[in-house]
Amino acid sequence: MKGNETMKKILVLHTGGTISMSKDLEGGVILNEENPLMNQNELFQGEIEIIVEDIFNLPSPHMTLERMLQLKERILQGITEGVDGVVITHGTDTLEETAYFLDLTVPKEITVVVTGAMRSSNEIGSDGLYNFMSAVWTAASEDSKNKGVLVVMNDEIHMAKYVTKTHTTNVATFRTPTFGPIGMLTKGKTFFTKEVMPEEVCDIQAVQGNVFLIKAYAGMDDQIFNLINIEELDGLVIEALGAGNLPPAVLPGLQKILEKGVPVVLVSRCSNGIAEDIYAYEGGGVGLREHGVIFMKGLNGQKARIRLIVGVNTDKSPEDLRYYLES
């Protein structure tokens, strides 16, 4: 450290995923009994103090909302313990959902960085250790403060709100369609190019409710809507066509759900752009909004579902919930 600078204290929470796994003799990627990143303190000796916890050891598809809530509570505890930042290592399949959940529920006063790997720890060209180091440097950077939860992969810094996994195996899989990354790392230093708009934080204590995600397709009718038990439905997210449109045969079943007062959120199934009420034909966005469908701009389906779940677990009125989802 230089001069009298205080050493930053970073809490590292390992949750499992490819970054913690190894390839076996048959070529399958498997869980390790001990995370290979557990004992990497010497990488930051004299500059950053890291406190390491193996909080879970799960493949990414095993992540649940309850586990996300547990991470949120551990981060809040870390704030009381005086940590300066938090790094979470995570499997990439659901990384964006955990990151966004934390972005909506953790105070911005602490920097939280989520990272992972596309190649397991003993594969040629493994990216796990490098991404981990980059995440720690980002969490310790003064420039990272008050930007919400960040996702750091492959030398890029992304907002949790918009980043998504775009490739099944490529190490450059995490991208931010439409908006792009907000910064980068070079030689362990952060360089931000964009500001982050403030986001409401909801300190929820539960993740209850049935919130489903449905994707629209050509020729779709309302069969899948009619199969839903509306009495037990707390929210619905639809990945609509184009700018925000649905086949007309969907409308009768959708209308039954709307008439029950269930919040229905619409996003686009396109990877770029935002959902808008542009078209006035039957099934178009104009009519959908008039019937009470909520247009959520810029989020993909899985992120919209996370936001809706967070929203329904607050004490917001229907009007305030709608504003929260639309804003």
Write out the binding residues for substrate: 60, 92-93
Q: Residue 191, Cβ neighbours under 10 Å: how many?
A: 11
Residue with tokens 């686009």: 268
CA distance linking residue 323 with residue 294, whole number of Å: 9
227 contact partners, CB below 8 Å, separation of at least 6 = none
- The token pair at 128 is 């796990």
Task: Tell me how long the chain is.
Answer: 327
Is residue 18 among the annotated active site residues?
yes
Q: Are strands 111-115 and 150-153 parallel, antiparallel or unpaired?
A: parallel
Q: Is 98 a catalytic site residue?
A: no
Q: φ and ψ at 320, to 5 degrees?
A: -70, -35
| 233 touches 227 (CB < 8 A) | no
Among candidate residues 15, 18, 176, 190, the one labeled active-site is 18
User: CA 275, CA 286: separation in Å to the nearest integer?
Assistant: 11
- Crossing angle of helices 95-105 and 301-312, rounded to 10°: 40
Residues with a known catalytic role: 18, 92
